[in-house]
Structure 1
């Protein structure tokens, strides 16, 4: 679950022109002046549901809660396959301030009204590769939309929605394999993100019917990763305990200074 600003154009664009074609002209006061849009649909007494209403929308926690509870959860409930009934569904989001917390009472109440086991997770901070939307899907949608060269906000929105509807299932499958390969590299680098995304010839393997659904991970690497996490958690716990002790000592010293002196 994430939000994405789609830009009318990129800061740098590549164009392939015929010899007789003129160079494209783009006029902007500054790169910060590039128009962008979030996509939303609203219903009012003046328009039918699904009719695009172009207006400024500030993404707040209330807005994210509305989209989560009124759109995402009902969509999951409608499309979740019967054969996967009983399996836990994890909704991942990053740590942006507007995102709701896993224990949000409204969210939990909506979940309780479904017959699904849905849990909300936060992705690791400063780890965009752990988010499949940022890693693959949003980039792809923006790239395909750029190729349309939209001339207005309305054309931008229509282009994004059209590219989303046309998004290939095979491309989604490759994206999830890429995500797994990134997770594996993070484990090998003990949480660091200074790695290169592995090249796996996914398109060729998919065409040959050899693209895996799940990548294998060495048992020893799993053990090393668990040990590393436990060690890191122990260090953090010790640091937290030390800060609490220092705070308690400081409070006692201030209290002692305020006590009246006995005659």
Structure 2
């Protein structure tokens, strides 16, 4: 009680200067005390601050500027959104401020109405809630008539409209048992169309190439078929065209796959050879640009405009690539990258006439359009063999090295005299071998390496042949040797599938967790 009496004697409106007069500076001038609320008054009393109150300042008191009343709302908006306030004789600046605040209030009012309208959701009362509504209405009725204000009160309590409450009251009068449960059955609305999935397999494949054609064949709508696709009932399949294999082709594919197994491991625990001495070689066209590209743009970004003289004759260059399986030590460090090189089929020709880009006689890079057997032989002897001898590990130089090529007509045979003479020089034993016919899946370049470096090359934007050659060579050198080794693992998995189905090509490349295999 003594503490309470002590608190009652303290003046809460006192400033620091009134508490202690010994050297404490006045923080609040006396002129301001009349503008602040009385802190000794109970907080339940409504007291509004005067927003126009200003600290005592000679500059402000002598100023002739007219300020608008901060306690007054810019306008009191009625239902139609019209303003009901009037502006006094302000100067132009204050008039502009009044108009600006009026516009801000209007926009805020419109935005609030939109938010309330968007957040307003229909609420469906359960049977228990409808029964509770009826009991409340029945208790507040007399001779079948509701008391005034009951409908609004109950509607506010259950957060529904007055129409819903009136509907429940009328519904109770229609039944002798006063049953106000929902009239909707449990399974109401449009019934889902049942599709016989067995009919899908009976439809010809030519009528199942798109969602729309499949929906038309089943007499349903495309949206239903798309839901089945999302649910996993049907699946999308991309079907490539594969080479036609004869029995002789299948036999050679099977024999080639078996030849890659260690002889000592057959038949109990077959394992593959290391393939460290087999160089895969092949040719591929690389184009300056694709016919169609996908880009991700901002909404206001301008769409790129690309042109060329003819989409069927985009500038292209053929490259000859040679790779072998990379080698690693016991710690996983690179010992040999396996990248022998990639060689473009280009020539340097002098310009025949002067143009805006160069004068006559300037050497220009031209793509070779005719690749003959003599050209292939010269590339093998002058570029491929020197690159092999330069990059091949010295400790393995005495062992035979095989160059695996496909059966293209322009390729030289394994007993070509000029090649054999150059391949046996400097103590090397380099031999040619051919992969089975119609078997691109037995060459790592066609299996995935070319596609990988092509995707890297398309990230560049070459403008001429020199830039295209530089982009392809850079993509070849930047390609990860870890992923290059993964392609050789995929090659071995393809050979396993070929042996399972007796040399056929009707198989799916198995999905291997190569990163986990690498850690093991």
Fold match (TM-score > 0.5): yes
Q: 2:420 and 2:405 mapped to 1: Cα distance?
A: 16
Report the Cα offset of residue 20 of structure 1: 3.0
In structure 2, do the counterparts of structure 1 residues 104 and 53 end up closer, same or farther at CA, with 3 Å as the change threshold? farther
After superposition, the C-alpha distances for 1:115-172 in whole angstroms (9 at most, x for unaligned) are 1222211111111111111112111111111122333333222211111121221121
Alignment-derived partner of residue 71 in structure 1: 383
Alignment-derived partner of residue 486 in structure 2: 174
Report the Cα offset of residue 17 of structure 1: 2.5
User: Aligned ranges for residues 122-133 of structure 1 at < 5 Å?
Assistant: 122-133=434-445
In structure 2, do the counterparts of structure 1 residues 127 and 87 end up closer, same or farther at CA, with 3 Å as the change threshold? same
- Whether 2:363 is the aligned partner of 1:83: answer no
In structure 2, do the counterparts of structure 1 residues 203 and 9 end up closer, same or farther at CA, with 3 Å as the change threshold? farther
After superposition, the C-alpha distances for 1:156-207 in whole angstroms (9 at most, x for unaligned) are 222111111212211211111111111221222211112221111224543x
After superposition, the C-alpha distances for 1:53-97 in whole angstroms (9 at most, x for unaligned) are 511312111111111111111221222213324322110111111
Q: Identify which of 118, 137, 154 aligns with 2:466.
A: 154
Alignment-derived partner of residue 35 in structure 1: 315
Q: 1:93 and 1:192 mapped to 2: Cα distance?
A: 20
- Secondary structure of the corresponding residue to residue 114 of structure 1: helix
Which structure has the greater CA radius of gyration?
Answer: 2
Q: 2:491 and 2:364 mapped to 1: Cα distance?
A: 34
- Secondary structure of the corresponding residue to residue 3 of structure 1: strand
Where in structure 1 are there 5+ consecutive unaligned residues? 46-51, 211-263
Contact 1:41–1:53 under 8 Å retained in 2: no
Task: Report how many residues are paired.
Answer: 203
Q: 1:10 and 1:201 mapped to 2: Cα distance?
A: 32
Q: 2:426 and 2:481 mapped to 1: Cα distance?
A: 27
Contact 1:85–1:116 under 8 Å retained in 2: yes
Report the Cα offset of residue 103 of structure 1: 0.7
Q: 2:421 and 2:310 mapped to 1: Cα distance?
A: 46
User: Aligned ranges for residues 1-263 of structure 1 at < 5 Å?
Assistant: 1-28=281-308, 31-38=311-318, 39-40=344-345, 54-57=365-368, 58-206=370-518, 209-210=519-520
- Secondary structure of the corresponding residue to residue 401 of structure 2: strand
In structure 2, do the counterparts of structure 1 residues 181 and 30 end up closer, same or farther at CA, with 3 Å as the change threshold? farther
Report the Cα offset of residue 3 of structure 1: 1.7
Q: 2:401 and 2:298 mapped to 1: Cα distance?
A: 50
Q: Which has the higher contact order (CA 8 A, sep 6+)?
A: 1
Q: Which moved more, 1:148-157 or 1:135-144?
A: 148-157
Q: 2:364 and 2:415 mapped to 1: Cα distance?
A: 32
Q: Which has the higher strand share?
A: 2
- With structure 2 as the length reference, what TM-score do the two structures score? 0.36
- Secondary structure of the corresponding residue to residue 2 of structure 1: strand
- Secondary structure of the corresponding residue to residue 463 of structure 2: coil
Q: 1:53 and 1:180 mapped to 2: Cα distance?
A: 43
- Secondary structure of the corresponding residue to residue 432 of structure 2: strand
Q: 1:76 and 1:101 mapped to 2: Cα distance?
A: 19
CA RMSD of aligned residues (A): 2.6
Where in structure 2 are there 5+ consecutive unaligned residues? 1-280, 319-343, 351-362
- Secondary structure of the corresponding residue to residue 418 of structure 2: helix
- Secondary structure of the corresponding residue to residue 121 of structure 1: strand
Report the Cα offset of residue 106 of structure 1: 0.5
Contact 2:424–2:430 under 8 Å retained in 1: no
